[in-house]
Structure 1
Amino acid sequence: MFGGGGMNPRKMEQMMEQMGIDVDELDATEVIIRQSDGTELVFDDPDVTRMDARDQQTYQIVGEPTEREAAEPAETAESEETAEDAIPQSDVDLVRERTGASEDDARDALEATDGDLAAAIDYLE
């Protein structure tokens, strides 16, 4: 987990617990970091550790990333996520792929079914 410079890992865990630091390994299959320049760093099958200390969470990602162009601009993704009742573009795309419907029809079906993917697909089929 951490390199303690030769310190006994058990002793290190005890010290961290005394300081109120909690460390958990997460079972992540993929981590994507979207950068402001429109590229993404994609970590497939990474080792992810979350450390909680003083009401703040810190994540450590260990793995070899690949770089790719972002699927959509970061500004669009942020504005989409901040709208409470907005249907995520990824859901619209999934319904379109499964049904062959247009983007507007897929979005309408998702809105009609309160974002339920399976119901939206059934609605269009």
Structure 2
Amino acid sequence: MDRGTVGSTQKGRLHVEVRGEGSTAVVTPVGELDHATADLLRDPLESCIDEGLTRLVVDCSRLEFCDSTGLNVLLGARLKAEAQGGGVHLAGMRPVVARVFEITGADAVFTVHATLEAALAD
């Protein structure tokens, strides 16, 4: 498997790492995803899709907070990826982040995995 780092970006409370795992892009947001930091996740997700990597795994294991703006970024990426025959998988959500998805019902529209390894194996 190709495990090279494709890129990373950081601003204040959020750092985003992107790496390739074969034909899948693994996107790892680290920190707090909210209105002020949403573009730091949106941009690499959209870049992956634009480059033809439409199977995205978002490793949420290091995501400490996600508000509605962050949720909308992920929903938007899901729609774009699915329009190109791909999808967005979420992995390793912490309880505080998982709760946002449960409350809004967004957990029903994503494929959610307990771990990154499980998402990559799917």
Normalised by the length of structure 1, the TM-score is: 0.21
**Which structure has more RCO (C-alpha within 8 Å, separation ≥ 6)?**
2
- More strand as a share of residues: 2
